[in-house]
Structures are given as structure tokens and as C-alpha cells.
Amino acid sequence: MSVTPERTTLCQTCEDVEVTEFLSLGMQPAFAFPADAQEAATEPMWPLDLGVCTQCSLVQAMEPVSERILFNGDDYHHLAGLTAGYRGHLRGLADELAALHGAGERRGSVVEIGSNDGSLLDELAERRFDVLGVDPCGSESAAGSPVVRDYFSSQVGKEVLATYGPADVVVTLNAFAHVTDLHDVLKGVTAVLDDEGMFVSESHYLVPLLEGVQYDFAYHEHSRYYSVTALQAVFAMHGLEVFRVDEVDTHGGSIRVFAGYPGVHGIEDSVGELRRVEDALDLTDLAVYEEFARRVARQREDLRALLRELTADGSRVAGASAPGRAITVLNYCDLGPDDLEYIGEISPRKIGRLLPGTHIPVVDQKAVLGGPDQPEYALLLSWHIADEVIDRLRSEGFRGTFVVPLPEPRVVDDA
């Protein structure tokens, strides 16, 4: 009799340490919105299970899906510059990098990994940086900032160096968790980075993810979930040290991490401060993650119960916005068209399509949530920017009541 061996997943950083699974979010689709029922019928699904390395604290997908499957076309549905709040965030980062690089005629060169619609490249170019994006789904931006359409790797890093010279800044926003081969990408970063340069990454932060029950930020595009502890471990393997960490409020809580070659940049107090926070939380203790999983299961039941209560009198509920995190929540909570009539959206790349997995129709937010036949409730699926979404919907004429799914499902009084 043959016995099927249990799955073994090794840490993507340590490479020789087994990862321990602590949360299963079931079968989940990718961030690709089916055009119609026929396309939805053949939609691929993969298991979305999370595990932790108790040596370096890296949280990762147990079975990551290749970036070449997830990011492989012209119609990738995320647009970085779509919301006013995030555009302001990009302007702030561009100002910060400009302040760090003097006021000369040219401030230096920047390579952005995962440049998306070029919004950050344009802001940096406006501040007199020479810019280049690398993104397999990217395109020349509105201002004409150049983009290499490829997956960033050690080979691409060498090619960028040979063609454009060393970069004073390599930056990646919310794409450093996307890459399949973490070590190869870091080899590319160190290949192109100037000896006195800085690597600036921005990623969702593991601490607020755990404390705020933000399981919705787990989706297939994210292979890893970072702490400062985990980043220090992997950067050290490539001769880099973290010298500054800023906490930023994007995506429900992120960290902007500055790294460079040892001895070049003075290590700021922020690094030690966040390490002390993480050490106190004991992010290498499996019990921390098991408690998180129990809270996720309770949130699922609480959200389903709240929606049943709200609709018991015949009231209707629609979703407001369809970010990647909405896919995880609605699929994990088994909420479909019988629970949400539709989801209102502002992105032209999503309107007229179906939400992955649940196949809830995605419609024009202004026309429906602001129209005469609007529902009584709007579930704020972009709850992490609730104020911005509420202000927009009120200005468009929505008169109903808002429901926030996380971290505690609740009805919101915005009067």
C-alpha cells in the first residue's frame, strides 16, 4: 500500500527550513476578471494556504502561483493612479526621494520594479530623476516615462545596467511580494544598484495584518507577507542592510523599507524601534498565527450573520469597489450573487466583467449605487480607504447605509 506524503513547503528565504501552515482560505482565483459566463466556467482556481517560517518569520503562500501566470497580459486590472488617495501617496514618496537626492539639474536615476501605469515614474520624472520602469504588464505612462516590458530578474538587472548604467534608486511598491523567485530578484537589484544607492520597497506590513485580521490582503498575487525581521534576513543574504523603515497607512498598514550596502547609510532609530515591536510580538512563535487563524474563522461567521440579519426584511446589499482583497473575502466567506446583487466600481478595466470566483457582476459605481434603484446597503470592500469611498459614493448620490467587513463586521454611521 502506498502512502501519499504530506506536502512539504520550504521557506522562500531560508530555503532549507520547512514552513508550517496555519491558515487555509480555500480555493481562490487570480486577479483576472472574467468577461462573461463562458470565460468564468473555465476560470482557474488554486489553493490559498498560508504558512510561517519559525526561523525568520516570513509568512508565505504554501503553493505560490507563478508570476508568469498571474501577470501576463495587457489587461491587468490594477491601476496604481486610479484613486486620489494613492496618487497623493505617490507624490509624497516622490517628494521624499527628491529630498534625499539633492536639488541639482538631474537628481539621479531610478528603476521601478512593477511600474504598473507609470504614475510614480511620472512623479519622479517631474522632479528631475531619470526614470525607467520594468513591468511585464506595464506600458508607457501618460507622460511618456519608458518601461521595459519584462519580469524583473537577475538577467534583466544586468541588461538594465549594461544599457542604462547603475541606478541611484531601485524602488518597488507592492510588487516585491509578487515576485516568484525572491533571491533571483534581489540578485537583479544588487546588479543594477549603484554602490551608494538605495533599494526602497513598500509592502503590506505583517504586524497590522495580524492585529487587524486582514486576511483579505492574502491573494495569489502576494507570495509573501513581510516583517522587518524577515526582510533583514533576506537582505543580509545579498549584502544589503536595512537602514530606515517608515510605517505608511496604505492598504491598511504598510512599511516603506530603505536598504543599501553596509556602511553607506547610517542606520536610523526606526529600524530598532520596529524590531523591538516585532520581538515583543514573537513573530516566530506559531501560536501567534494559530490565534490569527481562529480570529479569521470567527470574522467569516460574523460577516455572514450580519448580512443575513440586514437582508431578513428584504433589504438589498451591493458591494462597493472590487480590489484584489474583495476576491479573497467574498470567496472565503462564500458570498455570491445571491448575497450581493452587484459590485460598483470606478475602474474601466473591471466594469462590465464578473468578480473572479464568485462571478458577481461588476458595474459602473456611479450609475448604479448613485441611481434611483440603489440598494439599502453598500458593503465597503475597500474598507481600508473607507473615508475616501464613502465621500465618493455620497457625492454620487448614494443614500443608503455602509457596512464594513473588517476587522469587525459592522454597520457604519457616517452622518
What local confidence, expressed as pLDDT, does residue 4 receive?
41
Does 242 lie in the same domain as 324? no
Does 256 lie in the same domain as 143? yes
Is the Cβ–Cβ distance between 227 and 278 less than 8 Å? yes
Q: Which residues of 333-363 are buried (b: 16+ CB within 10 A; e: fewer)?
A: bebeeebbbbbbbbbeebbebbbbbbbbbbb
- Whether 187 maps to a domain, the answer reads yes
d(CA 400, CA 402): 7
Q: Locate the DSSP E strands across 205-360.
A: 224-225, 241-248, 254-260, 317-320, 343-345
Across 124-148, average pLDDT: 84
What local confidence, expressed as pLDDT, does residue 6 receive?
59
Q: Which domain holds residue 149?
A: 84-286
CB atoms within 10 A of CB 174: 20
- List pLDDT tens digits, range 196-221: 999 999 999 999 999 999 999 898 88
What are 171's strand-pairing partners?
A: 112, 200
- Whether 350 maps to a domain, the answer reads yes
- Whether 47 maps to a domain, the answer reads no
What local confidence, expressed as pLDDT, does residue 87 receive?
80
Q: What is the number of structural domains in the chain?
A: 2
Cell of 146: 519608458
What local confidence, expressed as pLDDT, does residue 62 receive?
95
Percent of the chain residues past pLDDT 90, beyond the cut: 73
Does 329 lie in the same domain as 224? no
What local confidence, expressed as pLDDT, does residue 380 receive?
96
- Whether 327 maps to a domain, the answer reads yes
pLDDT band for 74, please (50, 70, 90 cuts).
low
- List pLDDT tens digits, range 315-353: 999 999 999 899 999 999 999 999 999 999 988 889 999
Higher pLDDT, 76 or 410: 410
Residue pointed to by grid coordinates 516603506 = 256
- Whether 128 maps to a domain, the answer reads yes
Does 153 lie in the same domain as 102? yes
Is the Cβ–Cβ distance between 334 and 70 less than 8 Å? no
What are 341's strand-pairing partners?
A: none
d(CA 125, CA 111): 11
CB atoms within 10 A of CB 196: 11
Does 277 lie in the same domain as 143? yes
Domain boundary among 249, 267, 286: 286
CB atoms within 10 A of CB 54: 17
Does 260 lie in the same domain as 210? yes
Cell of 410: 459592522
Q: List Cα–Cα distances, 235 to 56, 365, 400, in angstroms.
A: 12, 42, 48
Is the Cβ–Cβ distance between 236 and 71 less than 8 Å? no
Does 159 lie in the same domain as 279? yes
Backbone angles phi, psi at 231, to 5 degrees: -70, -40
Q: Which residues have CB under 8 Å from 163's CB, separation 6+? A: none
Is the Cβ–Cβ distance between 352 and 373 less than 8 Å? no
- Whether 121 maps to a domain, the answer reads yes
- Whether 64 maps to a domain, the answer reads no
Mean pLDDT of the chain: 90
Q: List Cα–Cα distances, 256 to 116, 173, 273, in angstroms.
A: 18, 9, 14
Residue pointed to by grid coordinates 466594469 = 351
- Whether 296 maps to a domain, the answer reads no
Pairing status of strand 193-204 against strand 254-260? antiparallel
Across 123-148, average pLDDT: 84
Does 328 lie in the same domain as 183? no
DSSP state of 3: -
- List pLDDT tens digits, range 12-33: 999 999 999 999 999 999 878 9
- List pLDDT tens digits, range 77-123: 555 444 666 788 889 899 999 998 876 667 899 999 988 888 899 99
Vertex 203, ends 198 and 206: CA angle to 5°? 125
Cell of 70: 498571474
Does 182 lie in the same domain as 95? yes
Does 384 lie in the same domain as 258? no
Q: Which residues have CB under 8 Å from 396's CB, separation 6+? A: 365, 366, 369, 370
d(CA 26, CA 10): 20
Does 396 lie in the same domain as 279? no
d(CA 173, CA 251): 11
Q: What is the pTM (predicted TM-score) of this model?
A: 0.88
With CA atoms as reference, report the closest residue to 200 among 227, 173, 233: 173
What are 241's strand-pairing partners?
A: 260
Whether pLDDT at 371 is above 50: yes
What local confidence, expressed as pLDDT, does residue 3 receive?
40
Is the Cβ–Cβ distance between 376 and 314 less than 8 Å? no
Domain boundary among 247, 268, 286: 286
d(CA 114, CA 356): 22
Does 256 lie in the same domain as 108? yes
Across 155-171, average pLDDT: 96
Report CA 361 to chain centroid distance, whole Å: 23
What local confidence, expressed as pLDDT, does residue 70 receive?
76
Helix or strand (DSSP H, E) at 113: strand 108-113
d(CA 296, CA 78): 26
What local confidence, expressed as pLDDT, does residue 79 receive?
52
What local confidence, expressed as pLDDT, does residue 140 receive?
65
Domain boundary among 249, 266, 286: 286
What local confidence, expressed as pLDDT, does residue 73 receive?
57
Q: What is the CATH number of the domain that holds 366?
A: 3.40.50.720
Higher pLDDT, 84 or 185: 185
Average the pLDDT over each of 55-64, 206-215, 356-365, 383-392 and give the range with the smallest value.
383-392
